[in-house]
Amino acid sequence: MRFRDSLIASSQSHASRIVLALDVTGPTDTRLARAAALLSKLSGGVAGVKVNFHLLLPRGLEGIAEVARICSDNALPLIADIKLNDIESTNLDAVEQLFSKGVDAVIANPFAGFDDGLAKPIHRARELGKGVLLLVYMSHAGAKEGYSLKVEREPLYLEFARRVRDWDVDGAIVSSKSLETISQVRKIIGRERLIISPGVGTQGGDGAKAVKAGTDFAIVGRSIIDAAEPLKTLQDFNRSIPPP
């Protein structure tokens, strides 16, 4: 089973399109315990989980072992949001290390290119039944300064969408705030690959509108994990976004 199939299966099992971003802040020695407690409480209502440098830098790969265990126990795919963007030998070592610690997919930056960049990591992920998601359009205000740069009269993100299709990776990361971009990317990559959209909630994205435009999954982090009642907030998001 490929990663995209496991995420779809988890979504259907948990009746949710939400990928929970455990972007926990605060004192570094408390982050892991808080992340694990949140995940234990919320695991029954999300499709997958995403961790990034908020946990990986202060705690390292060994530090996310508890998060990986909870994900495994609840059949929740775990995504490492590291925006992989280096030479091939470094990229390959990074994915080997992450996959060995229970990570199911990595987010990579297509700027690195295929030859001597992402080719071997993509092939290795496929061998292991793991996933690669390409960063096509980010959700912060400055994204347009890079991803919308015109290359031969078209925005760069369209070329990145074609790389999702041509490199046969599991899907694309596309901002929930860019509905036209979501629709354009969907036309290029077809229905065989996923669109996962960050920026829902705190950054102003609307999950329901993103799904209507073509998104499969909405990444939600701070709006849930920093809420006074995280479980109730998650349930509200699940009600507002069309079910899988």
Whether 185 and 174 have beta carbons less than 8 Å apart is answered as: yes
Candidates 41, 50, 83, 101; catalytic one = 83
Q: Quote the Cα angle for 64-108-213, to 5°.
A: 105
Whether 45 and 74 have beta carbons less than 8 Å apart is answered as: no
- Helical (H) or strand (E) element with 184: helix 179-189
**CA–CA separation, 24 vs 164, rounded Å?**
29
Whether 195 and 189 have beta carbons less than 8 Å apart is answered as: yes
Q: For the chain, how big is the Rg over CA atoms in Å?
A: 17
Tell me, what amino acid is at 136? V
Closest CA relative to residue 138, chosen from 205, 225, 212, 46: 205
CA distances in angstroms from 224 to 22, 27, 42, 77, 239, listed in the order given? 9, 19, 10, 19, 14
187 included as an active-site residue:
no
| Residues with catalytic roles | 83
